[in-house]
Amino acid sequence: MLLNIDTAKTNKAFEKLGVKDFKNNYSLYKADNLFDDLEKGKISEAVFFDGIRNISKLPLHDNDIRNAWNALILDFRTESLKHLEQLKTRYSLYLLSNTNSIHHQAFHKSFTLQTGRRNFDDYFTRAYYSHQIGLRKPEKEIYNFALQDAGIIAEETIFIDDLLKNTEAAAALSINTHHLQPDEKIEDLKL
């Protein structure tokens, strides 16, 4: 929603390294245990890199794996970021993101290079990253954790996500939701 990504670029980057069928193990819609554990912060980057070497049966270097893994990260949507600044003057904004430490470092670096600003998290009252809290969407526990930690009420909250399974899980907990469509941008919504 705020960061443009292209998972096909990561698939192609791993294929270039000789990793066959990478997309069968990971996508936005499914993840095997290695990727799920990385996004929940259950394993270190080193364990993840070893896991990729085990899956591929190739002696890949850590930096090659890191670069392929981060290939999906494109750029931030500057109009969406400007809109967040306006929204933050009227609402408390929270970020609930499935990500991992490798992508987290990469998109924060990309954010600073693109915008000249120091911290992406400044757009939010609080940012919750799956790898830091050990929970992942669409597990109901992550929504309950964020609601309780932020001290907000489900019925007074709107959760916006581009994956239907994530908005359905939030709605099941009485959170108002909006499933962001591929052609929609956050600044298009009437909030």
Q: DSSP characters for 16-85?
A: HTT-TTGGGTB-SS-B-HHHHHHHTT-S-HHHHHHHHHHHHTS---HHHHHHHHHTTEEEE-HHHHHHHH
DSSP state for residue 129 in the 8-state scheme: E
Reduced to 3 states (helix: H, G, I; strand: E, B; else coil), residue 13 is helix
Domain count, the chain: 2
Q: Are residues 179 and 107 in the same domain?
A: yes
Q: Are residues 95 and 156 in the same domain?
A: yes
Beta carbons of 40 and 137 less than 8 angstroms apart: no
Q: How many angstroms separate the Cα of 59 from the Cα of each of 53, 54, 55, 62, 150?
A: 6, 9, 11, 10, 44
Residue where a domain terminates, one of 20, 44, 70: 70
Range 68-88 average pLDDT: 96
Q: Are residues 183 and 133 in the same domain?
A: yes
Q: Tell me the CATH number at 85.
A: 3.40.50.1000
Q: Are residues 59 and 114 in the same domain?
A: no
Question: pLDDT (tens digit, 9 = 90+) per residue, 89-122?
Answer: 999 999 999 999 999 999 999 999 999 999 999 9
How long, in residues, is the chain? 191
130 closest CA partner among 43, 11, 13, 6: 43
Question: pLDDT (tens digit, 9 = 90+) per residue, 168-187?
Answer: 999 999 999 999 998 999 99
Q: Are residues 182 and 116 in the same domain?
A: yes
Q: Are residues 45 and 120 in the same domain?
A: no
Q: Are residues 66 and 91 in the same domain?
A: no
Q: Are residues 128 and 57 in the same domain?
A: no
According to the model, what pLDDT value does residue 77 have?
A: 95
According to the model, what pLDDT value does residue 191 have?
A: 76
pTM of the model: 0.93
Q: DSSP characters for 133-152?
A: HT--TT-HHHHHHHHHHHT-
Residue where a domain terminates, one of 70, 98, 127: 70
Q: Tell me the CATH number at 11.
A: 1.10.150.240
Close Cβ partners of 111 (under 8 Å, ≥ 6 residues apart)? 76, 117, 120
Q: Are residues 53 and 83 in the same domain?
A: no
Q: Are residues 43 and 102 in the same domain?
A: no
Residue with tokens 């990504």: 5
Range 158-166 average pLDDT: 96
Q: Are residues 137 and 184 in the same domain?
A: yes
Residue where a domain terminates, one of 51, 70, 89: 70
Give the pair of three-digit tokens for residue 14: 């791993």
Q: Are residues 65 and 9 in the same domain?
A: yes
| Domain assignment of residue 9, given as a range | 3-70
